[in-house]
Amino acid sequence: MNELHIETVPTDALIPYARNARMHTPEQIAQVAASIREFGWANPILADEERTVIAGHCRLAAARKLGMVDVPTIALRGLSDSQKKGLSIADKKLATNAGWDEELLRLELEELESLGLGMPQVERRARTSTSIAGSSSSNTSRSRFRHGQRRRGDGCSSGEG
């Protein structure tokens, strides 16, 4: 396993992977840009030695939308082409496999709203989209949580959506 180092890289030096299968709407890019503006960078872009993006295409597009010149990047060295492709897909797909605990999500959003920290771009989707709040795996997660059976790692996610 390589030691990870976060490097600041010019946005113009990063090359989006030509066969990136994940699509991002202008609305989603705007949401990610708003998140970066509000919270800063919480998840660096993953790139290979040649600075081809492996994961973080939407974050890169959002940074460009914000006019950012440099972005935090983790250079992943020594991966084969098949490993890069596999990581790229895994990073995107694993997050979409996760479900939501609808009750906990509602409570968190209500608390943020009561503190004057509403997140309209998230709230609107959480209240109307089955892709966020309505998956069947959310019921399983809530059931484990209520019965004290939630295990370490049950709440993790990867990727940017």
Contact 51, 13 (CB under 8 A): yes
Please report the pLDDT score of residue 103 as a whole number. Answer: 93
Q: Give whole-number Cα distances, 11 to 8, 44, 46, 130, 161, in Å.
A: 9, 12, 13, 34, 20
- The CATH number assigned to the domain with range 6-96 reads 3.90.1530.10
Mean pLDDT (10-residue bins), the chain, 161 residues: 84 94 92 91 94 96 97 94 94 87 90 76 48 39 35 38 42
Please report the pLDDT score of residue 145 as a whole number. Answer: 34
pTM of the model: 0.71
Neighbours of 99 (CB within 10 A): 16
Please report the pLDDT score of residue 119 as a whole number. Answer: 65
Please report the pLDDT score of residue 4 as a whole number. Answer: 84
- Domain residue spans of the chain: 6-96, 102-146
Task: Give the residue among 92, 98, 103 at the shortest CA–CA distance from 153.
Answer: 98
Q: In which region does residue 116 sit, left (phi positive, over 0), alpha (psi from -120 to 50) or beta (all else)?
A: left
Token pair 């370490």 is at which residue?
A: 152
